[in-house]
Amino acid sequence: MSDAVATEKEMLLTDAELLGFIAQGYHLIEPELPAGLNEAICEQTDALESNPGNEILARVPMLQQVYDHPQVRGALVSLLGEDLQMDGHRHLHVNVPGSRSQGWHQDGTNVRHHQTWCVLAMYFPHDVPADLGPTIIMPGTHFRNTPTDQLATYANLKGQVPLTVKAGTVAITHYDLWHAATRNKTTRERYMLKFLFNRMSQPSAPSWNFDATTAEETARSYLSTMVGAKGYSSDYYKEWELRKEMWQWFKGEQVDVPPGEFRNMLS
Ligand SMILES: O=C(O)CCC(=O)C(=O)O
Ligand SMILES: [Fe+2]
């Protein structure tokens, strides 16, 4: 086993971290990147004449170092399995001075399920203070299936989390998590690099740092006490069930769906 693999293995998520992702739909990482990497990425990005879209990795190849970092890889393997793949779609999101807030949205088309087949990995190469137009996310909404047109009419939500982060942070979110860019009140541009990663196979066993002696006890407390999306009490009960299903699914177990009950699950 090479050192790189050993390090990545050490950086797998714990049960508590994976359960936190199940409940809230995101996980933040502050990888220890090589000195100067964030600054060098910002400089190369500043020098681009136009937004290269999916070609951003070819134009700023140093980005690969961020996504190959053992801490980032460890989290991605934990969530998507060893055979995960980087998607061909990636984007440099430039939030320009004087921008207006974006509407709440889920990326992609509105085909949702309660498994984890795709995550967004948003990398912020510089500090993002509150006035620089941080991305906001709404914990727990990866289980919600609100029509896109209605979602776009929502404004400030109780419990929303602005990603006011330090340079180098990578926010991994479930693909369905509600998010939006906020208003940039400064005179500087804000960068966010968004890469997608896909799961290629159904889980057959835990791919994170699973501790068989304590996992179920940790799960019992996390899955029914961790605050997710705010809502009516009936929504909490729905959410707890969906969390339990996702936990079973991550472990590679058959998900029990009570007979006669409909679930919108792709398998
Ligand atoms: O720039 C951001 O903070 C978010 C942008 C975004 O989510 C999008 O354009 O789909
Ligand atoms: Fe988006």
- 174 forms bridges with which residues in the sheet? 119
Residue of 235, 228, 138 whose CA lies nearest to 177: 138
Does the CB atom of residue 95 touch ligand 1 within 6 A?
yes
- Residue 266: predicted pLDDT: 36
Specify burial of residue 192 (Cβ count, 10 A radius: 0-12, 13-18, 19+): buried
- Residue 144: predicted pLDDT: 87
95: number of Cβ within 10 Å = 21
- Residue 37: predicted pLDDT: 98
Q: Which of 174, 183, 192 to mutate to test the pocket of ligand 1 (most atoms within 8 A of CB)?
A: 192
For 14-42, how does the pLDDT look when each residue is reduced to its tens digit (9 = 90+)?
Answer: 999 999 999 999 999 999 999 999 999 99
CB-CB contact of 248 with 116 (8 Å): no
The string of DSSP codes covering 8-73 is: HHHTSPBHHHHHHHHHHSEEEE---PPTTHHHHHHHHHHT-SS--GGGHHHHSTTHHHHHHSHHHH
Å from CA of 180 to ligand 1 middle:
6
Alpha helices in the chain (DSSP H): 3-10, 15-24, 37-46, 56-59, 63-68, 70-80, 148-151, 215-225, 233-250
Q: Is 96 helix (H, G, I), strand (E, B) or coil?
A: coil
- Residue 65: predicted pLDDT: 98
Q: Which segments in the chain show pLDDT lower than 50? A: 1, 260-267
Does the CB atom of residue 135 touch ligand 1 within 6 A?
yes
Q: Which domains does the chain have, with CATH numbers?
A: 3-198 (2.60.120.620)
Å from CA of 226 to ligand 1 middle:
26
For 222-234, how does the pLDDT look when each residue is reduced to its tens digit (9 = 90+)?
Answer: 888 776 666 666 6
CB-CB contact of 103 with 182 (8 Å): no
pTM value is 0.92
Does the CB atom of residue 107 touch ligand 1 within 6 A?
yes
